[in-house]
Chain A
Amino acid sequence: MDDAERASVEERNRLHRLREAPARRRLEQAVLGSDYGASSYTTLSQAAELATRMQLGPGVSLLDLGAGSGWPGLHLAKVTGCRVVLADQPAEGLRIAQQRALEDGIADRCGIVQSSGDPLPFRSEVFDAVTHTDVLC
């Protein structure tokens, strides 16, 4: 990781911490319909569309790349019953996601991996479905 990338990860860590504030969560709820500390443009209905497109359900294994603090990967696991692995670089987002998985009672179906998307630290054909939201832009 070079200095610029390290600085970017640190900045995202800082923002993840700030987005835990209740007022910021209320803002997210008003805009996206979620409360995971997200800053994306993926709304609740668009997350449902992802679930339909990927045919998520119990027994399906999902990889969420650039997962941030869990939106929409954790939500998809919660509402569909699928397993999910969240992968991202900032540790703060993943810490928040891990806590949320415990609170939502889905920690046994949720894996957390601190990693950049390139290269991915997974064997081939491990996942049934892959998603990312506004990561490759």
Chain B
Amino acid sequence: MAFHVIFVASGLSEEDAARADAAGPPYVSAAGSYTELLASAGFGEIDELDLTDQYRLTAAAWFRESARAARQLEEIFGVEEFRQRQQEREETLAAIEGGLLRRWLFAAQAT
């Protein structure tokens, strides 16, 4: 098994955790670490790779390239939805740069 996951950084203040939740993907957060979850599900040889810096670069690219294609994307999504999406992308990028959101690759073998 190998997968990418975005998660809220640990040890945040209540305010920063709320900001991370708001800026991250619209999914529920897992309770506990993924390493522990994988181990408890019977997986071994667990390997982790921190991809947060690449996550930052990709988030920045989504914002930058979307801005570059703004007129065409406004025709597809509508002006209001496009602007809202760009605002969300900016907030996500700020949260990554602020150390609030992380993205890792996990790989593990069934045991």
Contacts and interface: CB of A to CB of B under 8 A. Distances in A.
Interface residues of B, number: 34
B29 A137 contact: yes
Contacts of B17: none
A126 interface: no
B2 A50 contact: yes
Interface residues on A, range: 20 to 34
A2 interface: no
A112 interface: no
B10 interface: no
A123 interface: no
Contact of A46 (B28, B30, B51, B69): B51
Judged by DSSP, the binding face of B is mixed
Contact of B1 (A24, A30, A130): A130
A134 B65 contact: no
20 contacts: A23-B72, A23-B75, A24-B76, A27-B65, A27-B66, A27-B69, A30-B65, A31-B62, A41-B54, A41-B55, A41-B103, A46-B51, A50-B2, A53-B107, A132-B4, A134-B6, A136-B5, A136-B30, A137-B25, A137-B27
Interface of B: 1-7, 24-25, 27-30, 34, 47, 49, 51, 54-55, 58-59, 61-62, 65-66, 69, 72-73, 75-77, 103, 105, 107
